[in-house]
């Protein structure tokens, strides 16, 4: 049965609304996915200011919803065709989450539709399925400004966290080190551009958690070491470029080391399943845009027998299409369970 869901995302500094449909044949179609980035508003402060973020969500969310619905209508899906509303219910900046969730609740109430609260991380976990046919189970590296996690994705609602950061996320490390070096916000792209001109072997940086047998991450030691080098040894533009290249290499190296461990754990768990021959290693989150990170993770996947899959950047970073999809997949499961109960009652009765 065809299903159509309106999704709302507002957990950080992007306000986003989308309409996603699953056709009778199971094919997923993004009918609209509109995003308003607040990055210019926060850039002067060098990071996201929660109150400014929440106010900006309030100012833009209704216009964005109108735009998303009108784009869907142009493709023949009107507001009456929406079956359910999904909104990020956390984790995130609470002011922003409340704006999106309350908007979605009001919309759902006024149209008599079910409301599905979605975990933002579940949205990221499933986002690859907007564009790729990736069967379960797969391994996910979610690497953004707020999160750095390795997840064994067994199915909708069935996730095991294999590792997480014990301090900063990788994107946060990019942003904070870039800020120390006087680069713009967000720091990741600016640091990558500087790194392209530098020598990655020039500075030796700490290799955190190297001997640990889990898949956790840690970036705060790197941040401190980079700040010390910046203060004591960075005098020229070339020094700065060399430090950026060394930092980028260190971040990529830890992502590779921890992902390699997770791949082995994943393979050990699925060893007896003959249908899991070449599983997917999915990389999502803003840091997946980094070319060095991508190239190294892709090479690792090849070596370990995984298919490297990176969703298009628009779905890697925060967006509402992934929230609509996660809501849709959950809603479909709830409907299937209700149908099963109904059938059973008829048979039993
Ligand atoms: O997924 P995202 O848009 O938002 C969340 O944090 O949820 O990720 C943003 C993060 C920022 O920390 C940003 O600096 C980082 O992704 N980023 C990059 C690059 N592009 C974005 N980091 C490294 N290299 C890049 N090219
Ligand atoms: Zn996110």
The CA–CA distances, whole Å, from 217 to 71, 228, 246 equal 41, 21, 18
Same domain? 165 vs 106 = no
Same domain? 178 vs 93 = no
Q: Report the CATH number that the domain containing residue 320 is assigned in CATH.
A: 3.30.420.40
Q: Are 317 and 14 in contact (CB under 8 A)?
A: yes
Q: Are 283 and 262 in contact (CB under 8 A)?
A: no
Residue owning the nearest CA to atom 16 of ligand 1: 286
Same domain? 217 vs 93 = no
Question: pLDDT at position 327, please?
Answer: 98
Distance separating alpha carbons of residues 124 and 140, to the nearest angstrom: 9
Measure 339 CA to ligand 1 centroid, in angstroms.
Answer: 42
Measure 286 CA to ligand 1 centroid, in angstroms.
Answer: 3
Pairing of strands 280-284, 158-164: unpaired
Span 171-220, pLDDT tens digits: 999 999 999 999 988 899 999 999 999 999 999 998 888 778 899 999 99
Distance separating alpha carbons of residues 288 and 305, to the nearest angstrom: 20
Measure 228 CA to ligand 1 centroid, in angstroms.
Answer: 24
Binding residue per annotation — 57?
Answer: no
Measure 140 CA to ligand 2 centroid, in angstroms.
Answer: 14
- Dihedral through CA 28, CA 91, CA 107, CA 112, nearest 10? 80
Same domain? 22 vs 159 = no
Question: pLDDT at position 317, please?
Answer: 86
Binding residue per annotation — 120?
Answer: yes
Same domain? 74 vs 27 = yes
Question: pLDDT at position 202, please?
Answer: 97
Task: Report the side by side order of strands in the sheet with 28-37.
Answer: 28-37, 14-22, 3-9, 84-90, 115-119
Question: Residue 177 is encoded by which pair of tokens?
Answer: 């080190």
Same domain? 202 vs 343 = no
* ipTM surpasses cut 0.90: yes
- Which of 171, 252, 311 has the most ligand 1 atoms within 8 A of CB, as the residue to mutate? 171
Same domain? 162 vs 304 = yes
Tokens 């970073």: give the residue: 317
| Segments forming the whole domain that contains residue 65 | 3-132+315-348
The tally of domains found in the chain comes to 2
Distance separating alpha carbons of residues 77 and 231, to the nearest angstrom: 57
Residue owning the nearest CA to atom 23 of ligand 1: 188
Tokens 């010390």: give the residue: 228
Distance separating alpha carbons of residues 293 and 299, to the nearest angstrom: 10
The CA–CA distances, whole Å, from 77 to 36, 96, 108, 245, 250 equal 22, 28, 17, 48, 47
* CB count in 10 Å sphere of residue 105: 15
Same domain? 153 vs 252 = yes
- Which of 14, 145, 184, 191 has the most ligand 1 atoms within 8 A of CB, as the residue to mutate? 145
Question: pLDDT at position 253, please?
Answer: 95
Same domain? 95 vs 76 = yes
Same domain? 293 vs 259 = yes
- Pick out the chain residues at pLDDT < 70: 346, 349
Question: pLDDT at position 249, please?
Answer: 97
Span 270-281, pLDDT tens digits: 998 888 789 999
Which atom of ligand 1 is nearest to 171's Cα? 12
Question: Residue 11 is encoded by which pair of tokens?
Answer: 């957990």
Measure 236 CA to ligand 1 centroid, in angstroms.
Answer: 26
Residues near ligand 1 (Cβ within 6 A)? 12, 144-146, 171, 174-175, 186-189, 192, 285-287, 289-290, 317-318
Distance separating alpha carbons of residues 213 and 7, to the nearest angstrom: 39
Element (H, E) at 7: strand 3-9
Distance separating alpha carbons of residues 208 and 196, to the nearest angstrom: 24
Q: Enumerate residues 6+ apart whose C-beta is below 8 A from 253.
A: 207, 296
Binding residue per annotation — 318?
Answer: yes
Residue owning the nearest CA to atom 6 of ligand 1: 145
Same domain? 100 vs 226 = no
Same domain? 154 vs 279 = yes
Question: pLDDT at position 129, please?
Answer: 94
């Amino acid at each position: 049965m065809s299903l159509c869901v309106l999704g709302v995302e507002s957990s950080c500094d992007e306000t986003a609304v989308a309409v996603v449909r699953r056709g009778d044949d199971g094919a997923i179609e993004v009918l609209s996915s509109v995003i308003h980035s607040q990055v210019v508003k926060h850039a002067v402060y060098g990071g996201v200011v929660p109150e400014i973020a929440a106010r900006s969500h309030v100012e833009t969310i209704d216009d964005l919803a109108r735009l998303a619905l009108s784009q869907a209508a142009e493709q023949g899906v009107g507001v009456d065709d929406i079956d359910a509303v999904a909104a990020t219910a956390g984790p995130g900046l609470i002011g922003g989450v409340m704006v999106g969730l309350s908007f979605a609740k009001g919309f759902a109430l006024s149209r008599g539709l079910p409301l599905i609260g979605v975990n933002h991380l579940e949205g990221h976990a499933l986002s690859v399925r907007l564009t790729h046919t990736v069967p379960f189970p797969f391994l996910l590296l979610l690497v953004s400004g707020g999160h750095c996690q390795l997840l064994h994705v067994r199915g909708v609602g069935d996730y095991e966290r294999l590792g997480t950061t014990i301090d900063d996320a990788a994107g946060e490390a990019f942003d904070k080190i870039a800020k120390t070096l006087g680069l713009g916000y967000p720091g990741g792209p600016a640091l990558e551009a500087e790194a392209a001109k530098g020598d990655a072997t020039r500075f030796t940086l700490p290799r955190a958690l190297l001997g640990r047998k889990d898949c956790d991450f840690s970036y705060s030691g790197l941040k401190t070491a980079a700040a010390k080098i910046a203060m004591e040894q960075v005098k020229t533009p070339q020094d700065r470029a060399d430090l950026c290249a060394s930092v980028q290499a260190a971040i990529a190296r830890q992502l590779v080391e921890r992902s390699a461990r997770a791949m082995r754990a994943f393979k050990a768990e699925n060893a007896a399943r003959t249908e899991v021959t070449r599983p997917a290693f999915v990389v999502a989150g803003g840091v997946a845009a980094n070319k060095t990170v991508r190239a190294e993770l892709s090479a690792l996947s090849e070596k370990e027998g995984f298919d490297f899959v990176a969703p298009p950047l628009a779905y890697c970073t925060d967006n509402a299409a992934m929230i609509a999809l996660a809501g849709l997949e959950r809603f479909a499961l709830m409907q299937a369970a209700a149908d099963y109960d109904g059938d059973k009652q008829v048979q039993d009765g």
